[in-house]
Amino acid sequence: MGTLDGRTVLVTGSTSGIGRAIALRLAAEGAYAIVSGRDADRGGAVVSAIREAGGRADFVAADLSTAEAAQGLAAATLELVGGRLDILVNNAGISPGTATLSLDVATYDRVMDLNVRGPVFLTQALLPSMLSRSQGVIINIGSWVAQVGFIGGALYSASKATLEQLTRGWASEFGGQGIRVNAIAPGVIISDPEGPEAEFRHKMVEDSPFGHAGSVADIANAAAYLAGDGAGYVHGTTLVVDGGVLATRPGPRLG
């Protein structure tokens, strides 16, 4: 028996990376997973992996850059799950790493559309299903850089800070109606331990308490906790999963 048996979940941006790991983990806990993203081949591979492990999953293609696309994904998801969605994971987003002086309007729009507009209107479209039962879980995937200055990533950091503030706002707005809303702020995470960026990412946090970057499984574990009944009294929080980087950054000397 899994902790999420009989429940349904939509994970956006789940064809790779953190989103894929979350979809696999929540499906392993018994949830019927709706995998979503832009790449049908990669999405199909995630669905196949879940089914081969004995779970249930389907894929819905979506590019959440417009409100209409978000509403379309919501409608398709509700049709597949019979009108009952229990868990929404707003994970889809982009990080172009564009410096402020070289930022153009198209890049600004793309970041804010995918990282903020998409989650807002997808959540809006799916909330009525949850509110009608006075039960539901929303998990927003933020970032540790929402809480620090990050050279070359000010816009991305701001978009994730917005998502974390939406988490607190939605928890206040809907918590009394049975909806739990929380966020996860991943630290430096490695999707592919053998990939070209793995060594660089480890070096980014080599002076942190754990001395190495995290894995997508670390974020999936956090999502499984927040999605389950064990987090029933956790509302409006951002769970930082960064190996202690933010908590142990050197502060000012006091003498």
Give catalytic residues, as residue numbers.
156
Nearest CA-CA partner of 143 in 132, 155, 134: 155
- Residue 144 gets which letter from DSSP? G
User: 50 to each of 28, 60, 67, 195, 234, how far by Cα in Å?
Assistant: 8, 15, 29, 23, 28
User: 180 to each of 34, 119, 147, how far by Cα in Å?
Assistant: 20, 16, 22
Please, what is the Cα angle at 158 between 155 and 164, to 5 degrees?
150
Q: At what angle do helices 154-174 and 105-112 cross, to 10 degrees?
A: 30
Asked if residue 159 lies in contact with residue 93, where contact means CB atoms within 8 angstroms, the answer is yes
- Residue 184 gets which letter from DSSP? E
- Give me 10's structure tokens: 């939509």
- For tokens 């979809």, the residue is 23
**Reduced to 3 states, what is the DSSP secondary structure of residue 108?**
helix
